[in-house]
Amino acid sequence: MFFYLWKLFCKKAFNKLIITNIKLKFYHAICRLLQITIFEKYYARIMIGQIIFIIILIAAIYLFSKNAGKIRRNILLGKDTDRSDHPAERWKVMTKVALGQSKMVKRPVAAVMHFFIYVGFVIINLEVLEIMIDGIFGSHRIFSHVIGGLYGLLIGGFEILAVLVLTACIVFLIRRNIIHLKRFSGVEMTEWPKSDANYILCIEILLMTAFLTMNAADYKLQALHFGEYIKAGSFPVSSFIAPLLPNNPHTLVITERVCWWFHICGILAFLNYLPYSKHFHILLAFPNVYYSNLNPKGKFTNMASVTNEVKAMLDPSFTPPPAPDGEVSRFGAKDVTDLTWKNLMEAYTCTECGRCTSVCPANITGKLLSPRKIMMDTRDRITEVGNNIDLHGKDYKDDKSLLDNYITREELWACTTCNACVDACPVNINPLEIITEMRRYVVMEEAQAPASLNNMFGNVENNGAPWKYSQADRLNWKENNH
């Protein structure tokens, strides 16, 4: 009887054990399945983010390349000029003026504030590079694994620069909108140029704020040892912002991700805004300074067309070279396509800072001339020509020109050719070249110089001097004074 009861107990226990074992195996299988599902969702989320980021990045680069290509096409509509001589001297000038900001120091406040933004723009691009790599490969702070302990120094430097950039932007906004500095006004400074400057400053403030907020959320998540937020970086500024953020880790993750996406998408949007803005000088300042005119200020160029005419007069066997196909041969410049590619590059490089106009003696004494307007009008006109090419083809003519439709003759003849504007420009733009070329057209093609100049021309032709006295009477003043 005892043996029977023991056998029955063992049988039930064994069956229970088998059932329990089956349950355990089933439980573990479910857990593994759930774990796989969780990981799949996690990695799927990362991959979706990567795909979206790559699409945005490719679209941004494509649109920027397309618009930058149009500007390059517009610049090359100008006549050819050789600026490839003396490369060593050109590199020296570019290093001093473009990289060293040597011509900015004449206005110390603006120089210091611009230096903050300039250095911040250059160095913080390393942080943008890291964000782009993280966005493409789904990593997080990838540079921390590459440079180790230096990463904290790098992030700390970025944050200090971000504060300096914020400070500079706020100061510039105050100077433009509260103090109302005189050189930021003028007939050419219409609603768009003023708004353009304010838009850029506000965008930079938002980008730097997003950067610091992102770091603050990251700093707090690192302290919580949450998820992928490993201990990396030093946060001398954002650590003070961190207490203002919530303590919930999931809310912090959302904050960090939103700021991350806003920061990088804002930078890509800013990149595509540049071709429509005066801030395209960020990209053109260096090449524009490199191709500066190295001749002494005030030295005029010989016109090839005039040189060929003189050669033909002196040597009847000389045959002037034909003009390129489709190019109208004329003296001086009536429209933007009569200017050189360097003149057109300068028009796109102009920062509209107003330094040239603020030192122009004609403008100071109430004349209509504004060297800044000359550059802005040239840029507007060549952009209009480019747009017409896009819409109607390269042979389209709109019966408009830079002369009269954009720049008046009164402006041209108000210039004293003193080169003050050329000397003042922080990126070596030369408005005087455009003015003199247009004057040449008015005098040599239209013969419509002011009366005072026509009298001088007649005196030079008849007397060999700008005065009305004959050569024989030039020294009469000397004899009369004895």
Q: In the 3-class helix/strand/coil scheme, how is 291-303 assigned residue by residue?
A: CCCCCCCCCCCCC
pLDDT at 46 (0 to 100):
63
Q: Which two tokens stand for residue 455?
A: 């009298």
Q: How far is CA 13 from CA 19, 22, 87, in A?
A: 10, 14, 95
Give the Cα separation of 97 and 429 in Å (integer).
Answer: 12
Residue 169 near residue 204 (C-beta atoms within 8 A): yes
Specify which residues 403 forms β-bridges with. 407
| pLDDT tens by residue, the chain, 482 residues | 444 444 444 444 444 444 444 444 544 544 454 444 544 544 555 678 888 999 999 999 999 999 999 999 999 999 999 999 999 999 999 999 999 999 998 899 999 999 999 888 888 777 888 888 888 888 888 888 888 778 888 888 899 999 999 999 999 999 999 999 999 998 999 999 999 999 999 999 999 999 999 999 988 888 888 877 777 778 899 989 999 999 898 999 899 999 999 999 999 999 999 999 999 999 999 999 999 999 988 888 888 777 887 888 888 888 877 766 655 578 889 999 999 999 999 999 999 999 999 999 999 999 999 999 999 999 999 999 999 999 998 888 888 999 999 999 999 999 999 999 999 999 999 999 999 999 999 998 888 888 888 888 888 888 888 888 777 777 777 776 65
Q: Which two tokens stand for residue 209?
A: 């704020």
pLDDT at 150 (0 to 100):
85
Give the Cα separation of 445 and 450 in Å (integer).
Answer: 14
Residue with the two structure tokens 């089956």? 22
**Residues in the chain, overall count:** 482
HSE of 88, CA atoms in CB hemisphere, 13 A: 0
Q: How far is CA 433 from CA 49, 297, 343, 437, 457, in A?
A: 51, 11, 8, 6, 21
Residue 267 near residue 58 (C-beta atoms within 8 A): no
